[in-house]
Amino acid sequence: MERRWNIAVVGAGAIGGTMAVKLAADGHAVSVVARGEHLEAIRAGGICLEDPDERLCVQVRASDRVDAFGPQDLIILGLKAQQIPAMLPQLAPLLRDDTVVLPAINGVPWWYFHGDTGPLSQGVGGAAPHLTCLDPKGRMFADLDPAHIVGCVVHASGEVVRPGVVRGNGQYRYVIGEPAHVDSPRVQALAALFKAAGCSPEPTDRIRDAIWMKLVGNATFNPVAGLTRARMDEISDNPELIDLIRSGMAEIMGLARACGCDPLVGIDERLRIARGIGPVKISTLQDLERGRPLEIAALLHAPLELAARAGHPMPTIALLSALLGELDRQVRSASRAS
């Protein structure tokens, strides 16, 4: 290990918890923000990662308060997209001028237009526009200077199976890149950090291409998993569901190109990658089973908002969005009633 990083993981769930364990096991000073029984278990016995090859447990500092920790070298945001707006103003005590913020999130990120030069990137007066469905008041760039941000696309699967324990599928691949689509020393430093911790980082100077490549799967498999309650392998073995997913994938790939990006793979290859994830519950299904709000805005509303700007019809994605949105409302209504 070349140097010891101070790292705060805000949201130590399936993805954030996995990163926390890997980095702490490599000797870095890791602090995590968690809540409830998960937090209490981490405080009492540390946090553990179970995967097909090993069980790894580490001790970390843990709190439900972001301001419990001082300035950091790296802040990893392992939150759901809908939790991030309220969190950004709270990060101030953790920030130095050179602190990197790495949002390890699904879907179209709120920072998408920062550093973008694509055909939809011009806002009013030349300023970068914002995605209304993710940032209705246009406050998120003000609450966190986007200069701190390095993009991250997660290709890993995990689940908090009990308080203090995350189960992973053994894949820890993180695509990392600057929003401005350039190489940089901090991207290379992050890649070295994760590689030394036993992960598979991939630095890129085209992070938006990687975002679209992941979204091709997230915007199709995730809503189908929520609507059917099926695991990834069960969806992959159902020809009718795969036909629906193919239609949605074609729409997302067309939108990526309309935004000046390359989705990197074709539909057959993207389906093969999804099948390779194995018999796992996709995050949307995990959230549904736990009665949590579903991550719809970043996965479905944001691409639909971009599609409206680009004049790109997406009837399959619109249908999945409408159905999953109503399911989310029904589940939350039932939860409030009980």
How far from 98 is each of 4, 46, 85, 110, CA to CA, in Å?
A: 16, 29, 21, 21
Asked if 166 and 49 touch (Cβ cutoff 8 Å), the reply is yes
Rounded Cα distance, 97 and 93, in Å: 12
The reply to whether 22 belongs to the active site is no
Neighbours of 265 (CB within 10 A): 16
Residues whose CB is less than 8 angstroms from the CB of residue 237 and which lie 6 or more positions away in sequence, other chains included: none
Residues whose CB is less than 8 angstroms from the CB of residue 259 and which lie 6 or more positions away in sequence, other chains included: 118, 119, 120, 208, 212, 306, 310
The angle formed by the CA atoms of residues 52, 264 and 225, to the nearest 5 degrees, is 50
Alpha-helical segments (H) within the chain? 14-25, 36-45, 84-87, 140-143, 185-196, 207-228, 232-236, 239-258, 267-276, 283-289, 302-310, 315-337
Question: One of 22, 80, 137, 214 is an active-site residue; which one?
Answer: 214
Token pair, residue 184, equals: 């940089």
Q: Quick one: 242 exposed, middle or buried, by C-beta within 10 A (0-12, 13-18, 19+)?
A: buried
Catalytic residues: 214
